[in-house]
Homo-oligomer: A and B are copies of this chain.
Amino acid sequence: MKLATLRTGPGATSAGLAVGAEGFMLLPAANVGDLLADPQWRTIVADAQSRDCEKFTPIDRAELAPLLPTAAKVICCGLNYADHILEMGRELPEYPTLFVKYADTLTGAIDPIHVYGSQRVDWEAELAVVVGETLIRADEEEASRAIAGYTVANDVSMRDWQNRTLQWFQGKAFDATTPVGPVMVTADEFPQGHGFDVRGFVNGEVVQSGNTSSLVFSPARLLSYISQFTTLRAGDLVLTGTPGGVGMGMTPPRYLNDGDVLATEIAGIGRLENTIRFCGANSKQV
């Protein structure tokens, strides 16, 4: 099952169920996070289907909102692809490197990314995991069962801000710069939960390509680890890290420019396509 959050009017969104290639059936929840917060969400979806719901949004007109526009926790893992870590000559980490974004940081699957005040905008194509149940000091098995589904994200990073201090947060949390979507595919469609092909493109050129079978910390392991110190709940989002090929690592480093099209793709889930828009004139330098 594929779920999305759709912009249905000014300031209004609705959770939607993808129906073939035709469009979305609107569900009675403001977004996917609100839907998942109801333990009966599968029944809610089944009910909407059984009522042979008349509300379809043609997919080409669908306004895809960020999948989880009100996510309380958006937690990201850095340095997680073993092949990339080893090729950089580093040792595999014992613990996941974690940092955060806000719901405000997220944006829609085909939204332009407006950049204020950064000259070093970089990409990080990632598999993201949507939490489906409350997790408190959960083991890996419990965490695995609590995965509602998978989606695509790009942890767009302002490297100039990220590297101003030792803590990455300020370069990772620019409002409306991390696209997430277009849909969440429910976990039951991926019984193995690994082996996702993650690819990033700039203006059509492949810049990143990895497979999540190389993750040091699997989705379930990440959720379990995080839940040792903070509660995860339905609708929280965990980004699992990015494979090699980011712009900062190139010689010379390469960053996104105004007008560049950043695409992010995971086979079996979907594709993000976001145009970079520099808004320098509007930004005050601090």
Contacts and interface: CB of A to CB of B under 8 A. Distances in A.
Interface of A: 72-73, 78, 93-100, 102-105, 116-117, 137, 139, 158, 161, 164-170, 173-175, 224-226, 228-231, 282-284, 286
A73 to B, nearest CB: 7
Contact of A175 (B72, B174, B225, B229): B229
Given A98-B170, A167-B99, A231 B104 contact: yes
A231 B164 CA distance: 20
A194 to B, nearest CB: 20
A122 to B, nearest CB: 15
Contacts of A102: 72-73, 230
B117 A228 contact: yes
Given A116-B228, A158-B229, A229-B170, A94 B164 contact: yes
A78 B170 CA distance: 13
A97 to B, nearest CB: 4
B98 A229 contact: no
Contacts of A104: 230-231
Given A161-B229, A174-B229, A167 B78 contact: yes
A229 B224 CA distance: 30
Nearest to A173: B230
A72 B102 CA distance: 9
A224 B95 contact: no
Contacts of A93: 165
Given A102-B230, A170-B229, A230-B105, A165 B72 contact: no
A193 to B, nearest CB: 19
Contacts of A168: 167
Nearest to A103: B72
Contacts of A97: 165-167
Contacts of A173: 229-230
Contact of A165 (B98, B139, B224, B229): B98
B78 A117 contact: no
A73 B173 CA distance: 11
Contact of A284 (B98, B228, B231): B228
